[in-house]
Structure 1
């Protein structure tokens, strides 16, 4: 194999694919990136057996071929080469090393045979559709923070993507929950999504998708089955296994009759919660909300460090209510509200609270209260 290409092209592609590779691997080939040069392009591929990313970049191919080399080392080499450099990649005659040349720099990397590199793309996909990148990004951003990190409840370690029939037709909905809070976002289902199986996209895959959504005006091609998903972002193709589990019936925890409504300025509320929670203990992070007509008092009491209170003007006309929440969870939800007004709907101090964006009917959040 012998190919020449621009540093900028190679670095961008390596930055996409090398993130999939775990720093520590018991299987040596999984530490490598597959390089295949043919037909005027270089294709790069990396996998961890659950997630695979491939990208194609233009290259001047003098001798076609393929090999694998350590992904993180190659990325670090290319990253440290000067801007505008032209990089030459050439395998040795005995097939043991890859020579990387740029200007006066020379590197020799140990290779492993490309025939040993695993392929994740086998199998067929039952559904395919296109989704604007900005819509996919919104679905992920509005729900990602609520993904559980508790490995024993593995079926919560991702975003549940499925279709539902609503008043405005079929909707594509994303849901995530960790048992303490729930986040839901939806948009009109694109053509081809109707009837798709409900799938749980793993947390690591969600993070990689987010990083690849760097062109908001583009459209992402999505193909899926009940066990895999494949997304195509221009020259980048991401294929991932799905979480094999059943997502819980989240509809049962979404309150339907919370009748105590509070409307508050999102920015004022978030900064006030952040200020008073300075006093809270790292363990509980509890903040108490005391609601009365047109007034909200935020209070934190920590026996070890002191107390704090702050008052806000709100829209509220129901009976007075005292309720406690984890301050971190409140701030996470507030950061997803973009319209400037947060709408809280309460039932009582022990029941889940419904939180919505005053200007976005496509999202909702549920937060479990705490004892304070």
Structure 2
């Protein structure tokens, strides 16, 4: 195998695939990228047996063939080459090393047999639809912060993507929760997605997909079954297993009767939370909200550092209901307000019940936040 490719083309493709390759794995071949060339095309493939990424780019093929090489090392070498370099990769076959040349630079990399590289076959994916890149990006960005990292509750380690009935008919929903907060965002059902099964897309897949959504592709092709999902974004194909589990009945935890409504400017609120929470270095530091008509007082106490308090008045607060005091983890408040543009709406029931949070400018998204004792 022998080919030449522009450094800019090669580095972009390697950036997509190298993070999928497992750097610390008991199976050495999973740390490698499969490079195969023929008919003017270079195909790069990486997999960890849960996810596979394939990208095709243009190359000058001097001798067709295939080879595997350490993904992280190859990426690091190409990343440090001059921007306008032409990279030549030459593998004569067998157990010989892979030679890399660019200008006056030359190195060689050990390879592993191509036959050892696993094939992650997607199988039959009967459900197919296309979704605008901006729409999919919004579904991910406004929910993934709530994905659980607790491995024992593996069925919460992803985003639940499904079609559900809403007030205006069927909607495509993305839901994530870690038991402390919940994010639910919905959009119109794309043509072809109406009969799709509800699937849980793993956290790592979500993170890899999110990187591809900044590449400028206008829309994404989605193919899925009840066990696998595949995304095609331009020249990149991302295939992933789905989480084999049942997502909880999240609608049960969305409060319906919360009638104490607080509206507050997002920027004023987020900045005040940050300043008040700075008194404590604890990761789970609570912030207390004391709400009365058109007045919001935020406060936090640290046994070691003291106390901090800030008031927001009628210039940024609207509230006309009985007073309430309620506490939340500062980081959770920030995670939710980061998804909101201008004005945050809190709907309280009492100091111990789940609170509903909305963006007043975006009815397609809602968040649920469990309170803390303060």
C-alpha distance in 2 between matches for 1:65 and 1:316:
69
Does the C-alpha gap of structure 1 residues 291 and 93 become closer, same or farther in structure 2, counting only changes over 3 Å?
Answer: closer
Q: What whole-Å deviation, never above 9, does each CA across 1:276-328 have from its counterpart, x for those lacking one? A: 11113505411111111110111112222111111112110100111111111
Cα contact 2:21–2:47 (8 A) shared by 1: yes
What is the distance in 2 between the residues matched to 1:300 and 1:79?
Answer: 46
| 1:134-188 Cα shifts (integer Å, max 9, x gaps) | 1000000000100001111010011000001222222110000000000011100
Whether the aligned pair in 1 keeps the contact of 2:5 and 2:60 (CA below 8 Å) is yes
Structure 2 counterpart of 1:26: 26
Q: Counterparts of 1:111-122 in structure 2 under 5 Å?
A: 111-122=111-122
Distance 1:126 1:166 in 2: 25
How does the TM-score come out when normalised to structure 2? 0.97
Secondary structure of 1:12's aligned partner: helix
Deviations 1:189-245 (A, max 9, x none): 100111211111111111101111114551000001111110001000000111110
**Structure 1 counterpart of 2:151:** 151
The Cα offsets for residues 113-132 of structure 1, whole Å up to 9 and x where unpaired, read as: 21211111241102010011
Alignment match, 1:358 = 360
What is the TM-score when the length of structure 1 is the normalising length?
Answer: 0.98
- RMSD over aligned Cα atoms: 1.1
Deviation, 1:67, is 1.0
Aligned length: 371
Q: Which residue of 1 aligns with 2:162?
A: 162
Counterparts of 1:167-178 in structure 2, within 5 Å, are 167-178=167-178
Moved more, 19-28 or 229-238: 19-28
Identify which range, 235-244 or 159-168, moves more after superposition: 159-168
Pair 1:289 & 2:289 matched:
yes
Contact 1:96 1:112 in 2 (8 A): no
The separation in 2 between residues aligned to 1:293 and 1:214, in whole angstroms, is: 43
Change (3 A) 1:119 1:312: same
Unaligned stretches of 5+ residues in structure 2: none
More displaced stretch, 211-220 vs 239-248:
211-220
Q: Give the stretch that moved more between structures: 302-311 or 235-244.
A: 302-311
8 Å Cα contact 1:132-1:216 kept in structure 2 = no
1:80 matches 2:80:
yes
String of CA shifts for 1:334-362, please: whole Å, max 9, x gaps: 11002x00000000001000000010011
Q: Distance in 2 between matches of 1:266 and 1:320?
A: 21
SS of residue paired to 2:321: coil
